[in-house]
A and B are shown apart, each in its own frame.
Chain A
Amino acid sequence: MTPENKLDKSKMVVVEGSYAVAHAVKVCRPNVISAYPITPQTHIVEDLSQFMADGEIPNCEYINVESEFSALSALVGSSAAGARCYSATTSQGLELMHEVLFNVSGMRLPVVMTIANRAVSAPISIWNDHQDAISQRDTGWIQIYAENIQEISDMTAQAYKIAEDKDILMPAMTCMDGFILSHVYEPVVLLEQDLTDEFLPAYEPENILDPKNPLSFGAFADPNYYTEFRYLQEQAMQKALKKIEDVANEFYDVYGRYYGGLIDEYRTDDADIIIMAMGSIVGTIKDVIDKLRDRNVKVGLLKVRSFRPFPVEAITNVLKDAKVVVVLDKNISLGLNEGALFTETKSSLYNTDIRVPVVGYMIGHGGRDIKIDTIEKIIDEATEVMKTGIKIESQFTDVKEELI
């Protein structure tokens, strides 16, 4: 049951998405921020730099590194030394971090990083899709996608609470659509300092780099030991499934705001058609659903917040009574002709008693606009699937044939 969102309108201000995130980071009281500029993440780190210049983030060091590789590498040292750590990046920067992402997770360092999701080169594109973060799905980072600016801002505090939990100790990416959320101004409640101090305890890791108690971090593991490190990471991810739900509820108790836990639902109760998606596209889909519901089309939305850990049970529970499932992906696994959410949703359903056709649409690559008409057309096609079965299992949306 989705709790009612109690947004205090008197506290709302109109700010840019990036500012809301930077403010949320400040309120979480980080000790080390390490980042490298890249569009469309830049405004977040510029705002944080200004906070630093104005002395507004106490007990914090900001490292202006020479690359994204070093941005995250520096945080390996900082986190191991006991600091609450933050970075932000996107696209090429995130891909450059690839090797470090595995390392941070393998060392169980609860770094939080905002990703302003952007397409990946070539061809170079600064606009939004999800290929950057999806391509890092196996690196052992929790990945949560936000629908709007309020959610990505609030998610920052949630991410620290999830990542730093002693049963979890896994790094987390909070994902916001580049430009669509990072550069847009919306009325939001900025993350409250007093409530955050109540919600988010200080980071007090048990094992740190300390000359008084010398410990070794990052030893090498031979075949006698390596498997168990991976096993324990997976165990932590499985525990994070519950923790993400718990933290969303705790957040609601303190702040009165709620966006779903692992997932959120919109008008799914009696829905024959369920659309699944992540990120800002969810807002567009909700508008389409309202419109089609007025015409008695029984359509609902399953918004996936947590892509890693992947909420198999939560998703199958929602899909069990659907007659058709439509999955929208702003990414593609080249060579499979499928987006990742589509593939993993099918995989979640496979060894169950649920028999529902699932179709996939790859959409919005490189920032191509996703229009209401397009979503409506997809839902029309889903209605056909209900009647006549699957014709095309997975396809690109809005391909301009004249350009091919």
Chain B
Amino acid sequence: MKSLLAPGHRGCAGCCDAMAAKFTLMGAGEDCIVVNPTGCLEVMTTPFPETSWEVPWVHSLFENAAAVGSGVEAALKALGKKGNTKIVVMGGDGASLDIGMRSISGAFERGHDLTYVCIDNEAYMNTGVQRSGATPFDASTTTSPAGKVSFGNPRPKKNMPAIIAAHGSPYVATTSIGYPKDMINKVKKATEIEGPTYIHAHAPCTTGWGFDTSKTVEVAKMAVNTGLWPLYEMEDGEVTKVRKLGKNIKPVEDYLKMQRRFRHLFSMEGGEEEIAKIQAIADKNIEVYGL
């Protein structure tokens, strides 16, 4: 399969964004137009006058990618050029769950034929690891640091797939860059379904989460195998497929101890109770999704 993201970009070694973009393009194919909000992926792939993109690509601002995607789709329709061309928006968790929320909500409510891929590395990595609405409970970031009276981020992740499904999206799926085939297949399926479809890809960031550059995929898989990041598909609002973990379920501790952002939980007084709270989040996922 031809890679549509050329090498030579400025991504870190072990960069999750590069993997996510590559897998997304493998699923969407050459006949697509990519819209990219501001973020690591945009910065690392398009330092003027260079570009890594082998498909048409447009970046406008941080908070408006879904609206830009709406406009691309409308233009192709108006000009009689839509055909099978797919509109794929790829945005980070900050651009998607926080600042771009309104524009995503609008695009999905209006029913544009586009696929939105949220590449979720659970904080604002491009600006130096600040918390976002996707930052998990107790993760230490530069704006939710662990400290003498804090275990880090005080809130759990916003459930974005549920919000998108509530807009009436025909297809919503979670995936992980740790499972390339899963991601490619889901993107392919999403782009082939008419209407606004959504892929939420979990993407561990070596720099922001604090693990060795060789461990990106391993960390991603561990998030899935603890139940902290369930992989499922929703069609017309109903969960239709789930990746079962069966006997392979790992304790969340195995996932947390791989990462610098959770290391305070293993040294601070009361850390054990906090880890138990995170285990409870995983247990709930295991129950709700029947992992």
Contact = CB atoms under 8 A, between A and B. Distances in A.
Interface of A: 31-32, 34, 59-61, 63-67, 69-70, 73-83, 85, 99-100, 103, 107, 209-211, 213-222, 225
Given A103-B61, A216-B51, A77 B70 contact: yes
Nearest to A226: B48
B75 A214 contact: no
Contacts of B80: 59
10 tightest Cβ-Cβ pairs between the two chains A and B: A77-B71, A66-B106, A74-B71, A73-B64, A218-B59, A81-B75, A70-B67, A73-B67, A83-B75, A77-B72
Contacts of A67: 102-103, 106
Interface in B75-114: 75-81, 85, 102-103, 105-106, 109-110
A76 B68 CA distance: 6
13 contacts: A31-B78, A65-B110, A74-B71, A76-B71, A77-B35, A81-B79, A82-B81, A100-B64, A211-B30, A217-B56, A217-B57, A218-B46, A219-B49
B102 A70 contact: yes
A107 B70 CA distance: 18
Contacts of A222: 47-48
Nearest to A62: B74
Interface string B30-54: 1111010000001100111111011
Contact of B42 (A66, A220, A221): A220
A32 B42 CA distance: 26
Contacts of A79: 71, 75
A68 B286 CA distance: 42
A380 B85 CA distance: 66
Determine chain B's interface SS by DSSP, over half rule: mixed
A134 B33 CA distance: 36
Nearest to B70: A74
A209 B79 CA distance: 12
B214 interface: no
A64 B74 CA distance: 11
B51 A66 contact: no
B53 A216 contact: yes
Contacts of B55: 211, 214
Contact of A77 (B30, B50, B75): B75
A217 B59 contact: yes
A329 B64 CA distance: 34
A226 to B, nearest CB: 9
A6 B203 CA distance: 66
A218 B78 CA distance: 23
B48 A221 contact: yes
B109 A66 contact: yes
Contacts of B67: 65, 69-70, 73-74, 77
A60 B63 CA distance: 26
B11 to A, nearest CB: 14
Contacts of B63: 69
Given A69-B103, A73-B64, A219-B48, A59 B56 contact: no
Interface in B102-138: 102-103, 105-106, 109-110
Nearest to A224: B48
Contacts of A209: 33, 56, 58, 72
A65 B106 contact: yes
* Max chain A Cβ within 10 angstroms of own Cβ: one of B42, B72, B77: B72
B92 to A, nearest CB: 15
B240 interface: no
B143 interface: no
A74 B74 CA distance: 9
Contacts of B161: none
A222 B216 CA distance: 29
B22 to A, nearest CB: 16
B213 interface: no
A297 B217 CA distance: 84
A100 B56 contact: no
